[in-house]
């Protein structure tokens, strides 16, 4: 493998960087404002990681034809190979290349993210076993965290622990928030053993929230996310506080939203019409300002 220090320089057009930043802001206000705290070079690298994740996720989620989904993800595998050969083609790949050069982003983590998207692209995940759920979370979330901590400048043991636990926490919190949204596209990420323990059939997906035991099963699952936030908190305490400010902001936004979901009544938790995004844009900005100033 070509070492990052040996790679040639590949120019990134300023208009490409602006387009990537626009995509990040349009897709995730909390992520955008958390990462705005970073110096320009680190911010550009983290935005490129986000744009890459968003692009491969859109292929897995939005392309209805399975063959085209597989081809699209395979093309991005080739693009990752080209990044590490010093010959990126896509404008997002060129931006990632700069991150590889500057911050040593690992090829294995970029490929792991594509592996995770392929798990969705191969067919809907429906009530996976714990091993499959853990693998999925590592690929689509903790691998992203490993890229992020390299950019933040905290790639040691404590930073890796943050990547693992906070990545899992954010992914599990997303799953808890989006049960109905996922069910409408045939997906169920709640683990099979948890559903079985509460007597809830894994199929049909749209029937899970209607089951009388769903609120109790949901609270048990949400408890897994809460425990991962606690583990991430402990790991963050061992990291450089200023370097990890963006991670802290992301954690506070998602943890606050999870806490508010867990405070809902059983009927509200089971109501598919209720929006579960309880932390709004103004509050996200306030959190970013609070933790961005210390």
| Domains held by the chain: number | 2
Distance CA 154, CA 72 (A): 32
Same domain, yes or no, for 168 and 262? Answer: yes
Q: What percent of the chain has pLDDT over 90?
A: 78
Helices 157-177, 245-262: inter-axial angle, 10-degree rounding: 30
- Exposure string of 33-62, with b = 16+ CB inside 10 Å and e = fewer, is bbbbbbeeebbbbbbbbbbbbbbbbebbee
Residue 13 has pLDDT above 80, yes or no: no
Length of the chain: 294
Same domain, yes or no, for 277 and 194? Answer: yes
Same domain, yes or no, for 90 and 130? Answer: no
Average pLDDT over residues 237-253: 94
Give the residue numbers spanning the domain of 226.
124-294
Q: How many CA atoms lie within 13 A of 205 on its CB side?
A: 19
Q: Which residue has the higher pLDDT, 11 or 191?
A: 191
For residue 24, the model assigns a pLDDT of 82
Distance CA 276, CA 180 (A): 10
For residue 11, the model assigns a pLDDT of 57
Same domain, yes or no, for 197 and 74? Answer: no
Kindly list the distances between the CA atom of residue 88 and the CA atoms of 34, 36, 63, 77, 279, in Å, as whole numbers in the listed order: 28, 25, 24, 12, 38
């Amino acid at each position: 493998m070509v070492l990052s220090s040996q790679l040639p320089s590949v120019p990134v057009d300023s208009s490409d960087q602006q387009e990537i930043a626009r995509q990040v802001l349009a897709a995730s206000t909390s992520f955008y404002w958390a990462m705005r705290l970073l110096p320009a070079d680190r911010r550009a690298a983290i935005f490129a990681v986000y744009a890459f994740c968003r692009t491969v996720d859109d292929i897995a989620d939005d392309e209805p034809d399975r063959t085209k989904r597989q081809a699209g993800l395979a093309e991005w595998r080739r693009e990752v190979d080209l990044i590490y050969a010093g010959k990126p083609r896509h404008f997002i790949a060129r931006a990632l290349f700069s991150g590889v050069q500057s911050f040593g982003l690992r090829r294995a983590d970029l490929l792991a993210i594509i592996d995770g998207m392929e798990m969705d692209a191969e067919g809907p995940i429906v009530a996976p076993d714990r091993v499959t759920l853990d693998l999925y979370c590592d690929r689509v979330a903790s691998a992203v965290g490993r890229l992020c901590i390299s950019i933040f400048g905290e790639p040691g043991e404590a930073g890796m622990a943050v990547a693992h636990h906070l990545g899992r926490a954010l992914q599990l919190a997303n799953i808890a928030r989006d049960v109905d949204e996922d069910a409408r596209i045939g997906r169920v990420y709640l683990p099979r053993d948890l559903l079985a323990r509460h007597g809830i059939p894994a199929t049909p997906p749209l029937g899970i929230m209607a089951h009388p035991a769903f609120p109790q099963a949901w609270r048990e699952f949400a408890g897994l996310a809460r425990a991962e936030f606690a583990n991430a908190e402990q790991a963050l305490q061992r990291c450089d506080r200023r370097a990890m400010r963006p991670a802290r902001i992301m954690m506070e936004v998602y943890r606050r939203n999870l806490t508010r979901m867990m405070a809902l009544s059983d009927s509200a938790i089971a109501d598919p019409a209720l929006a579960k995004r309880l932390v709004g844009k103004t509050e996200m900005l306030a959190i970013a300002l609070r933790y961005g100033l210390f």
